[in-house]
Amino acid sequence: MNKYKIFITACIAIVTFSGCYDLDRYPYDQVGESTFWKNETQINQGMMGVYAALREDNAFGLKFAIDNISDMGIGYDNQGYGPVLLGTYTGRTELIKKSWKSLYDGVMRSNLAIRKISENTTISAEAKNKYIAEAKFLRAVFYFQLYNLYGGVPLYDETINQSTDYNTLLKPRNTDKETVDFIIKDLTEVITSDAMPVKWPTANTGRATLGAVYALRGKVYLYTKEYQKASQDFEEVMNDPRGKGYGYKLYNSYADLFKPGGDESSEMIFAIQNAGGVGMDYGMPMTFYMGTRSTFGSCWNNVMPSVKLVDEYELKDGKKFNWDEYIPGFSTGTAVKDETFVSTLSKDGKVVETYAKNKNILLSMYQDRDPRMAVTILLPYTKYNGWVSNAAKECEFVVARNVAPNESNGFIRINGAYTESYVFRKFVAEGNMSGAINNRAHTPINFPLIRLADVYLMYAECQNELGKQTIAVEYINKVRQRPSVNMPAINSGPAWLKASNKDEVFDRIQHERAIELAAEGHRWDDLRRWKLAKTLIPGNVYGFTGKRLLTKEFTDRDMLWPIPGEEMDINPNLVNNPGWD
């Protein structure tokens, strides 16, 4: 499959490196500057080291988990952003420290690549400009995430030599505007250089492209409310007005979009390339932290969807879902919730002695909902292709209290105190993926950072802000009416599908982004930039039976993370974000 080619390229044996492992093992300041970056083969190897930084857990490797700190997810431990969603984190918390470090690691790897490639005299000017453009795009990716998490940050470019200048990297924080301007400058230089490929040869599928540069710049403009500029960049990607040959289009199958094959389709504008299997552990830990004990390798469900997310999925006719229309009294009665979800297992836990009274109503209700729900969520009393005792095993998501469900008996087993919570199906390995997965921490499914559906919805948001509601609705409908989804179009007749003014269209954008992009790491950013985080995030969070699971915190200070305490100890010029002193 094409997605593996980027890793094969990284594994070419050369004198300096014995294999891919070394690219992850040696950081940016240990790549042997004096003996490396001398020819195009080495430059390609060095670029793979920059890409590898994307997969670091605290760069983008846990991007799927950050929805936990929004209203659409729940979780625990550092892998599930537990300290952040509970409001117990500080500048000394491990994930806060490591996020800063991992993202700056990516910046410094990019800087090293730009500097060493610029100095190279053995490759053609065309090749040199292409690799520099690629490294500048990646630097913009890392800096934009730093900006999202911490606000304005110290800016270091390729003139910095990390290996020799380590003790002098004591710059104060740049302003928000300076940080954004730096990111925009990098992306604009890539565009105007005309050096970035529109498409790479098959052997390099997955590397950054010109379309990705435009899409990211459009996203930066959207976040800074420059809606006209953002629209122009998104139109370049969507409409290809200059005939560049981008070729982006929505993938027909929403379900297969998050499986090998669909994950490298024409919908993916820029995705982290993941691989798995024997000797190919180059993936992200979606399965490890989203899967259950019934999943390959026995997993931990640190990352779970909230009841609010699941209830957000509409009926197939576009009406809002209402539990009481299916099960009267559900929304106010704990006993009714138990009758809906809770079964009794035999004393030895091997079979279901009595199924939940309303099980069949549940199964019927699932069929009436937006098809994306069943793709995204592993729902109670549905089946899942698990992997138990090193063999495939079909498991059922049964909820029971008298005896804990166990995967050895063919049931979904959820870890910890979250047995009455929904869990994810999206991005989670089923079975052993026909041998494609060898390690639960390395899921061989590419993870999208930008895909076309996201661009359509960002463009719709821009048009809505510019007062062009008709165009905004057109692009929302493109996402809703993907062939495998086929939800009714907004403004297609019934009153419940009406959205004509700015507020109504914005409500549709919120809804569509929440469910279309679930577990892709956008919701927390969206709520903060929409100034809705303080309204929608804090408060008690309940499981589907009404059991209180945790209480989320979000105050003004949480709009930005604190600057890590260790960084402030080292660099006295750093000033913390508001509310963190």
- Determine the Cα–Cα distance for residues 505 and 229; give it in Å rounded to an integer: 21
Sign of CA dihedral 206, 213, 71, 94: positive
Give the DSSP H/E element, type plus range, for residue 269: strand 268-272
Which residues are CB-neighbours of 539 under 8 A, at least 6 positions away?
Answer: 551, 552
Residue 106 burial by Cβ neighbours in a 10 Å radius (0-12, 13-18, 19+): buried
- Determine the Cα–Cα distance for residues 278 and 567; give it in Å rounded to an integer: 39
Give the DSSP H/E element, type plus range, for residue 128: helix 125-150
- Determine the Cα–Cα distance for residues 497 and 504; give it in Å rounded to an integer: 10
pLDDT at 34: 61
- Determine the Cα–Cα distance for residues 581 and 579; give it in Å rounded to an integer: 6
Sign of CA dihedral 306, 311, 312, 313: positive
Task: For residue 15, give both structure tokens.
Answer: 């004198």
Which residues are CB-neighbours of 134 under 8 A, at least 6 positions away?
Answer: 47, 196, 207, 208
- Determine the Cα–Cα distance for residues 144 and 137; give it in Å rounded to an integer: 10
Q: How does pLDDT run across 15-59, given as a tens digit for each residue?
A: 222 223 233 333 434 445 666 899 999 999 999 999 999 999 999
pLDDT at 32: 54
Q: Which residues, in sequence order, are bridge partners of residue 105?
A: none
Nearest of 130, 138, 125, 129 to residue 28 by alpha carbon:
138
- Determine the Cα–Cα distance for residues 354 and 346; give it in Å rounded to an integer: 8
pLDDT at 4: 36
pLDDT at 344: 98
Residue pair 82/76 in contact by the 8 Å Cβ criterion? yes
- Determine the Cα–Cα distance for residues 301 and 96; give it in Å rounded to an integer: 21
User: What is the chain's Cα-based Rg?
Assistant: 24
**What does the H/E/C string look like for 137-183?**
HHHHHHHHHHHHHHCCCCCCCCCCCHHHHHHHCCCCCCCHHHHHHHH
Residue pair 555/88 in contact by the 8 Å Cβ criterion? no
- Determine the Cα–Cα distance for residues 73 and 559; give it in Å rounded to an integer: 18
Give the DSSP H/E element, type plus range, for residue 359: helix 359-367
- Determine the Cα–Cα distance for residues 431 and 440; give it in Å rounded to an integer: 11
Nearest of 168, 28, 45, 43 to residue 103 by alpha carbon:
28
Q: How does pLDDT run across 348-368, given as a tens digit for each residue?
A: 999 999 999 999 999 999 999
**What does the H/E/C string look like for 421-457?**
CCEECCCCCCCCHHHCCCCCCCECCCEEEEEHHHHHH
What pLDDT tens digit does each residue of the chain (581 aa) get? Answer: 344 345 434 433 222 222 232 333 334 344 456 668 999 999 999 999 999 999 999 999 999 999 999 999 999 999 999 999 999 999 999 999 999 999 999 999 999 999 999 999 999 999 999 999 999 999 999 999 999 999 999 999 999 887 777 677 899 999 999 999 999 999 999 999 999 999 999 989 999 999 999 999 999 999 999 999 999 999 999 999 999 999 999 999 999 999 999 999 999 999 999 999 888 899 999 999 999 999 999 999 999 999 999 999 999 999 999 999 999 999 998 999 999 999 999 999 999 999 999 999 999 999 999 999 999 999 999 999 999 999 999 999 999 999 999 999 999 999 999 999 999 999 999 999 999 999 999 999 999 999 999 999 999 999 999 999 999 999 999 999 999 999 999 999 999 999 999 999 999 999 999 999 999 999 999 999 999 999 999 999 999 999 999 999 999 999 999 999 999 999 999 999 999 98
Say what the pTM is. 0.94
